[in-house]
Amino acid sequence: MTEWLDRLSPIWLHLTTFVMMFLEGMGIPGIPGVLPMLALAESIHAGQTTLAEAIAWGVAGNWLGSLLGYRLAASALKRLPRSWQRVARSPRTARLMTRWGGLLVIVSRTFGSLRTPVTLYAGASGYPWRAYLVFSFLGALLHVGVWQTLLWRFGPAILKSFEHFQAQLLPYLIGVVVLVVLLLLVRHRQQQGRADLEGEGQS
C-alpha cells in the first residue's frame, strides 16, 4: 500500500492538504483532512519532503480558509435556520466572543463541532478582524502542527498495520456486502409480494 505513496510527487500531497485544510478551515464539516496528512507522513519518512513543509502547507490552507469563512459568515448565516441566526446575532454571543473569543477561535480549529459555529459567530457578531487574524493563525498552527507531527511519528506504523489487516479483513467485508445485498433482495421481494396480494384483494 505504501509503495504508490512513495512514487507520488509530494507537491500533489501538499496541494491536496492545502485544499482539504482550506475547506475545513472555512467551517465545512466532514472534510477528511487527516488523509493527505497521513500520506505526507510517509513521504517525510521517504525523504521526499520535510515535516516543516508539510506543516506550512497545512497551516496556510487552514488559516486562509478560516479567514474566508469569517468574511462569508454574514451571507452564509442567511441560508441557515433562523435559530442559528438569532444565536449568532444575540447580545449573549457578542459577550461570549468578547470575553472568550480568542480561546474559542484557537480551540475551534481542532474540534469540528466548534469550528463551524465559532467561525460563523465570529464573523456575524462583529468579532474584531485583527484579533481573528492572530488567533485563527495560532489555532491553525496548533491544529496542523500537532496532527502532522503525530502522524509523522506514528503514521507509517498505522499504514503498515492497515496494510496487514486489509488482506485479512477483505474476505469478511466481501461476505458482509453479499449478505446485505441478499437481505435487500429478500426484503424487496417480500414487499412486492405484499403489494401483489393487496392488489388482488382490492380487485
**What is the C-alpha to C-alpha distance for residues 76 and 154, in angstroms, rounded to an integer?**
38
Residue 11 domain-assigned?
Answer: yes
Helix (H, G, I), strand (E, B) or coil at 127: coil
| Region at 81 (left for phi over 0; alpha for psi -120 to 50; beta for the rest) | beta
Residue-level pLDDT at 3: 55
Those residues with Cβ within 8 angstroms of residue 22's Cβ, 6 or more apart along the chain or in another chain: 61, 62, 64, 65, 68
> CA-CA distances (angstroms) from residue 203 to 84, 150, 192, 195, 198?
52, 68, 17, 12, 9
CA distance 101 to 202: 65
- For residue 5, what are the contacts with CB-CB under 8 A and spacing of at least 6? 39, 42, 43, 46, 159
Q: What pLDDT is stored for residue 192 in this prediction?
A: 74
pLDDT digits (tens, 9 = 90+) for 174-203: 666 777 778 878 877 777 766 666 666 665
Model confidence pLDDT, tens digit, residues 126-136: 789 999 999 99
15 domain residue, yes or no: yes
In a domain, 189, yes or no: no
Question: Does some domain include residue 57?
Answer: yes
SS3 string, 46-99, reads CCCCCHHHHHHHHHHHHHHHHHHHHHCHHHHHCCCCHHHHHHHCCHHHHHHHHH
Where is pLDDT greater, at 58 or 13? 58
Whole-number Å distance between alpha carbons of 1 and 115? 33
Residue 1 — very low, low, confident or very high, per pLDDT cuts 50/70/90? very low
Residue 5: pLDDT band (50, 70, 90) is low
pLDDT in tens, 43-54: 888 888 899 999
- pLDDT band, very low/low/confident/very high, at 63 (cuts 50, 70, 90): very high
> Is residue 176 situated within a structural domain?
no
- 94 in a structural domain: yes
- Identify whether 53 is part of a domain: yes
User: Residues 79-125: pLDDT tens digits?
Assistant: 777 777 777 777 887 788 888 888 989 988 888 778 888 888 888 77
Q: Which range of residues forms the domain containing residue 151?
A: 2-167
The answer to whether residue 18 sits within a structural domain is: yes
Task: Domain count for the chain, please give it.
Answer: 1
DSSP output for 138-199:
HHHHHHHHHHHHHHHHHHHHHHHHHHHHHHHHHHHHHHHHHHHHHHHHHHHHHHHHHHHHHH
